[in-house]
Amino acid sequence: MLRTFIAVDVSPEVLNRASRLIDHCRQLGIDARWVPVENMHITLQFLGNVRENELPLICRSLEKAVRPFPAFDVVCRGVGAFPSIERPRVIWIGVDEGREELIALQGAVEQAMKELGFRGEARRFEPHLTIGRIRSETADAPELAAFVEQNEAYDASVFDVSEVTVYSSHLKRNGPKYEAIGRIALEG
């Protein structure tokens, strides 16, 4: 069984700017588990444990679902927290331009996977790039709130969405390692 998810990759420039934000948060002493830049992506759907023999069917279904989409640009802008800045658990970089296209792409992915028996998310998809997970909800609230406010319009650059990637996640002692096991081009 492979822990599997479907995502879009972001550009090196977005990763570079995300890394700068993380460095700034570390300097502020915000207590979080920071996402290594090599693991950053925008998740479209988490599938969970999947048998290896199911992967070709998953990729074929994804191909039918996403191939009709044209490639598009996504502008990453702003910083926020889920579920809220008052009770932060996740720190993220937001999506500005390209948001509706990502939502439509995610909907097509989720529908294709639902037809294969995978459950979708209960909550509405909100495109974002996770940069960290807060360890203690209250310890850093004032610093984090100030940081988010100062960076609400942070320009994290742009990236091109031209494919969807199926990843496996291998849990290691020092965090997960992701391996691309299928890439499906947007050809619309």
Domain residues of the chain, as ranges? 2-185
- Per annotation, catalytic residue among 128, 131, 157, 161: 128
Asked if residue 179 has pLDDT above 70, the reply is yes
Is 170 a catalytic site residue?
Answer: no
Short-list 96, 97, 100, 113, CA closest to 48:
113
Percent of the chain with pLDDT over 90: 77
**Tokens 């023999």, residue?**
53
CATH 3.40.190.10 fits 2-185, yes or no: no
Amino acid present at 91: I
- Segment 11-50, tens digit of pLDDT: 999 999 999 999 999 998 888 999 999 999 999 999 999 9
Q: Taking all residues of the chain, what is their mean pLDDT, rounded to a whole number?
A: 93
Asked if residue 136 has pLDDT above 80, the reply is no
Asked if residue 91 has pLDDT above 70, the reply is yes
Output the pLDDT for position 120. Answer: 85
- Segment 55-72, tens digit of pLDDT: 999 999 999 999 999 999
Output the pLDDT for position 140. Answer: 60
**Tokens 């529908």, residue?**
111
Amino acid present at 64: K
Output the pLDDT for position 87. Answer: 82
HSE-CB for 177 with a 13 A CA cutoff: 5
Is 128 a catalytic site residue?
Answer: yes
Output the pLDDT for position 137. Answer: 60
The model carries a pTM of 0.93
Q: What is the distance between the alpha carbons of residues 5 and 13, in angstroms, rounded to a whole number?
A: 23
Beta bridge partners of residue 179, listed in sequence order: 168
- Per annotation, catalytic residue among 41, 92, 95, 132: 41
Asked if residue 145 has pLDDT above 90, the reply is no
Q: Which residues contact 91 (CB under 8 A, 6 or more apart)?
A: 25, 30, 32, 79, 80, 81, 130, 131, 132, 133, 134, 144, 148
Average pLDDT over residues 65-86: 94
Percent of the chain with pLDDT over 70: 97
